[in-house]
């Protein structure tokens, strides 16, 4: 079947036509042949029956009279029929009465037993029986055996003719089929060719040719319609594609334009950012300069005012001096506030969260303001919620700044009555990890008018000229406090009634509860405020004469000889000539600044080891960091106080006297060190260079006050154990700065640690 299906249409049609005509002719021939043979056979049977009847009639007398000879004679007449093979006459009893046989020599036909009238075919012969009646009485039977050779040869003959006819018919049918199948196959083939051409050449404009209105015609019409549709769609698609291309081109152009505009905007933004950065930089620089420029003369103003304090006797003059000092200090506060504000606004203020004891902090506030409260006869009550945990994670330095400002204002603006400071845990029980903290500062002071309430948190906003004049202040404290509180994620608010008092509230949400106990606020150890120096030379390099003079004045009662230089160059020359024991170096100087002068000093033999202390008026942390990094051995910030100057020098110069109010024994020369200490110096130096150095680095990096305080304690006990004042003092200083949260000073001391080790090493007697 598959073979047939794979044939071409032409072949299929030919095959179908040939098979149909062949089978038709064959069947017709078989039917005709069958009919012919049957008719022919019936003719033979009829002939033989007539012949048997004639023989019967002729032989009835012979049967009746038992005349076998006549009977046999009658049978001999059958000789004329060449296909009669044998014949016989049966008598009434069925016995052969007479017989005839056309036999060849030696042949003997076997005669069958008698039967009723009729015939049957057997062994290639037709056997016929005919009963002989006389006056309706059976007297015998005629039997004839007929040879069917005649029929067989007729069949062969007709078969040959039929085969001839079929062959002729087939040839004619083939010729006709070849011709006629084209009527059907040709249009289909043409359609196929058209379809192939279209699919190969993608030419949808081609059409199949229509040959008639029959089914193939309809098929061709359908095919052509389909092509029309495809062509139409093609056209539409082409149009769409074209449209899309146009669209893409348009959009690309628009995008390019947008990109160009964006680039222009971006460049502009970059330029603006650069300008803003430059402006910001300029602002920071301006602030730094301003701070520097104001601090420098303030150094002289406050310093000399301090010196004059003991010299002046009259009350009036003393009050003038007090005014100078307090105005100077206000000016310094203003500068610090402005620097803080600019740092906050430039996003440079960083927060450091650490465990803070609320109770400790409040106690600190009480101590700081105790004198003022006493002076003004104000009651102070601190109320701490017992539900508050002992430690909270907060930025202690900044929180203290805010509290100092609020309580400071309360003290300032309250003439009589009380000040209440309370801390509340606003979270319900159950939340043990975090809580909401409320801090309230309430006073019975002058109060704030309603119309001022909204803007007292703005910069430079004070109630009005009258109160500002009376109470002084910068008008920045609350602005800074608000920003700091908000930086820490809190809110600050105020409610007040003129004449009745004010209440400031700070709320911090989700304050983390600190693990363990925070470091208790330490009592600052009593620090030596005057030292008896041994004879030594100190060089002061500063371009401002007042500053040099001030240092000289501060040190005039000591055994220190002060040399003065106006700039870095002069400082180098003087240092080379006089080999001072210590140099105090201003940073900003004409000709050669402090950094460059230091660099050259550290490269000059014989001057390398002279300690150099930076004398800076800059309040900027960056400048202080730079000073520390540059290799200065210490630094003093203008305006400097006498005690601070002396203490700093005492760290580097030999002293012989007792520290005034000091807690330490005299410092000693190396010769005075107990022999045991001298013997153990290598061991001590080793400890200082390994485990202590490691701890120092660690605590400096982590910046936890309690750890730094502990480190100070360890150094102090090491110093005391081996009678090394140098170490004991250093340890105490560290504890003091950590205890008072003086971060800058504390870090400076920690950074000075390597220098301390060098100093201890220098105590080792040279061989
Ligand atoms: P300063 O106190 O330096 O003037 P602040 O920013 O701290 O600046 O305060 C701004 C102003 O808010 C103050 O000048 C004062 O008028 C008002 N103020 C602040 N706290 C109080 C207070 N407790 N009682 C009355 N007025 C206050």
The pLDDT tens digits for 131-146 are 998 888 889 999 999 9
pLDDT tens figures, 187-226? 888 888 888 888 888 888 888 888 778 888 888 888 888 8
Report the b/e string of 683-702 with b at 16+ CB within 10 A.
ebbeebeeebeebbeebbee
Q: Does residue 64 surpass a pLDDT of 50?
A: yes
413 C-beta closer than 6 A to ligand 1: yes
Q: What is the pLDDT of residue 11?
A: 85
Element (H, E) at 592: none
Report the b/e string of 11-32 with b at 16+ CB within 10 A.
eebbeebbeebeeebbeebeee
501 C-beta closer than 6 A to ligand 1: no
Find the angle CA(453)-CA(455)-CA(458) to the nearest 5 degrees: 140
Nearest CA to ligand 1 atom 19: 409
**Which three-class secondary structure state does DSSP give residue 30?**
helix
Q: Does residue 460 surpass a pLDDT of 70?
A: no
446 C-beta closer than 6 A to ligand 1: yes
pLDDT tens figures, 143-195? 999 988 888 888 898 888 888 888 888 888 888 888 888 888 888 888 888 88
Residue 227, burial from CB neighbour count under 10 angstroms (0-12, 13-18, 19+): buried
Q: What is the pLDDT of residue 106?
A: 60
Residue count (the chain): 767
Q: How many helices (H) and strands (E) does the chain have?
A: 22, 17
688 C-beta closer than 6 A to ligand 1: no
* 8 Å CB contact between 181 and 7: no
* 8 Å CB contact between 565 and 539: yes
Residue bearing the bigger pLDDT, 676 or 493: 493
Tell how far the Cα of 475 is from the centroid of ligand 1, in angstroms.
Answer: 7
Q: What is the pLDDT of residue 15?
A: 87
Task: Take residue 277 and report the two structure tokens written for it.
Answer: 């950065």
- Residue closest to 406 by CA, chosen among 396, 416, 414: 414
Beta strands in 50-137 (DSSP E): 84-91, 96-101, 118-122, 125-133
- State how far the Cα of 327 lies from the Cα of 92, in Å rounded to an integer: 183
- Residue closest to 666 by CA, chosen among 642, 650, 646, 688: 650
- State how far the Cα of 271 lies from the Cα of 448, in Å rounded to an integer: 45
Average pLDDT over residues 274-289: 78
**Structure confidence at residue 662 as a pLDDT band (50, 70, 90):** very low
Rg, the chain, Cα only: 69
Q: Does residue 630 surpass a pLDDT of 60?
A: yes
Residue 166, burial from CB neighbour count under 10 angstroms (0-12, 13-18, 19+): middle
pLDDT tens figures, 378-387? 999 999 888 8
Tell how far the Cα of 478 is from the centroid of ligand 1, in angstroms.
Answer: 7
Phi, psi of 229 (to 5 degrees): -60, -45
Q: How many CA atoms lie within 13 A of 549 on its CB side?
A: 11
Q: Does residue 303 surpass a pLDDT of 50?
A: yes
443 C-beta closer than 6 A to ligand 1: yes
**Which three-class secondary structure state does DSSP give residue 413?**
coil
Please, what is the average pLDDT of the chain?
83
Q: Does residue 293 surpass a pLDDT of 80?
A: no
- State how far the Cα of 482 lies from the Cα of 490, in Å rounded to an integer: 9
């Amino acid at each position: 079947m598959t073979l047939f299906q794979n044939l071409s249409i032409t072949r299929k049609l030919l095959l179908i036509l040939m098979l149909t005509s062949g089978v038709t002719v064959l069947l017709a021939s078989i039917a005709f042949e069958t009919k012919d043979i049957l008719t022919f056979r019936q003719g033979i049977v009829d002939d033989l029956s007539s012949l048997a009847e004639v023989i019967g009639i002729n032989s009835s007398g012979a049967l009746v009279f038992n005349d076998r000879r006549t009977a046999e004679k009658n049978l001999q007449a059958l000789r004329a029929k060449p296909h009669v093979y044998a014949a016989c006459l049966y008598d009434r009893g069925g016995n052969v009465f007479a017989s005839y046989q056309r036999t060849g020599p030696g042949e003997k036909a076997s005669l069958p037993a008698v039967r009723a009238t009729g015939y049957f075919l057997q062994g290639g012969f037709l056997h016929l029986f005919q009963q002989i009646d006389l006056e309706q009485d059976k007297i015998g039977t005629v039997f004839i055996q007929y040879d069917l050779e005649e029929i067989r040869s007729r069949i062969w003959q007709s078969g040959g003719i039929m085969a001839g006819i079929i062959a002729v018919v087939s040839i004619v049918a083939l010729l006709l089929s070849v011709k006629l199948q084209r009527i059907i196959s040709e249009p289909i083939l043409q359609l196929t060719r058209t379809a192939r051409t279209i699919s190969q050449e993608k030419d949808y404009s081609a059409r199949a040719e229509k040959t008639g209105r029959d089914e193939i015609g309809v098929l061709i019409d359908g095919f052509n319609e389909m092509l029309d549709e495809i062509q139409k769609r093609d056209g539409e698609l082409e149009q769409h594609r074209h449209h899309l291309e146009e669209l893409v081109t348009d959009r690309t152009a628009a995008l390019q334009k947008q990109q160009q505009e964006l680039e222009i905007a971006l460049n502009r933004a970059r330029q603006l950012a650069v300008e803003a950065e430059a402006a910001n930089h300029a602002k920071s620089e301006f602030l730094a300069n301003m701070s520097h420029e104001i601090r420098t003369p303030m150094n002289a103003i406050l310093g000399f005012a301090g010196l004059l304090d003991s010299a002046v006797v009259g009350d009036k003059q003393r009050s003038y001096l007090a005014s100078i000092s307090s105005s100077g200090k206000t000016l310094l506060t203003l500068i610090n506030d402005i620097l803080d504000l600019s740092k906050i606004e430039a996003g440079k203020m960083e927060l450091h969260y650490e465990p803070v004891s609320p109770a400790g902090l409040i106690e600190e506030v009480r101590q700081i303001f105790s004198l003022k409260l006493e002076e003004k006869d104000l009651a102070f009550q601190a109320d701490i919620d017992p539900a508050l945990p002992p430690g909270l994670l907060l930025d202690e330095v900044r929180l203290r700044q805010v509290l100092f400002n609020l309580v400071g204002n309360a003290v300032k603006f309250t003439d009589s009555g009380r000040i209440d400071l309370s801390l509340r845990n606003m979270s319900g029980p159950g939340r043990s990890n975090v809580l909401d903290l409320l801090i309230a500062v309430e006073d019975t002071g002058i109060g704030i008018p309603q119309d001022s309430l909204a803007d007292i948190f703005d910069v430079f906003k004070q109630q009005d000229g009258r109160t500002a004049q009376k109470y002084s202040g910068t008008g920045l404290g609350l602005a800074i406090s608000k920003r700091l509180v908000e930086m820490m994620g809190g809110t600050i608010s105020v409610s007040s009634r003129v004449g009745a008092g004010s209440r400031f509230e700070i709320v911090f949400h989700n304050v983390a509860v600190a693990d363990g106990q925070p470091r208790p606020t330490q009592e600052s150890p009593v620090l030596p405020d005057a030292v008896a120096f041994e004879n030594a030379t100190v060089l002061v390099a500063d371009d401002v004469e007042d500053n040099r003079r001030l240092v000289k004045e501060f040190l005039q009662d000591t055994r220190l000889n002060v040399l003065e230089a106006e700039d870095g160059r002069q400082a180098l020359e003087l240092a080379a000539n006089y080999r001072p024991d210590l140099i105090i170096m201003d940073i900003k100087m004409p000709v050669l600044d402090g950094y460059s002068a230091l660099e050259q000093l550290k490269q000059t033999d014989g001057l390398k080891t002279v300690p150099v202390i930076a004398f800076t008026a800059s309040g900027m942390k960056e400048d202080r960091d730079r000073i520390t990094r540059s290799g200065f051995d210490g630094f003093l910030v203008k305006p400097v106080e006498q005690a601070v100057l002396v203490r700093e020098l005492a760290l580097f110069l030999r002293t012989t006297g007792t520290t005034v109010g000091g807690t330490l024994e005299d410092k000693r020369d190396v010769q005075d060190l107990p022999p045991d200490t001298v013997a153990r110096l290598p061991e001590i130096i080793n400890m200082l260079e390994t485990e202590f150095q490691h701890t120092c680095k660690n605590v400096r990096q982590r910046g936890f006050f309690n750890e730094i305080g502990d480190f100070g304690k360890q150094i102090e006990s090491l110093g005391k154990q081996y009678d090394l004042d140098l170490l004991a003092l250093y340890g105490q200083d560290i504890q003091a700065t950590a205890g008072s949260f003086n971060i800058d000073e504390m870090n400076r001391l920690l950074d000075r640690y390597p220098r301390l080790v060098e100093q201890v090493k220098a105590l080792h007697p040279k061989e």
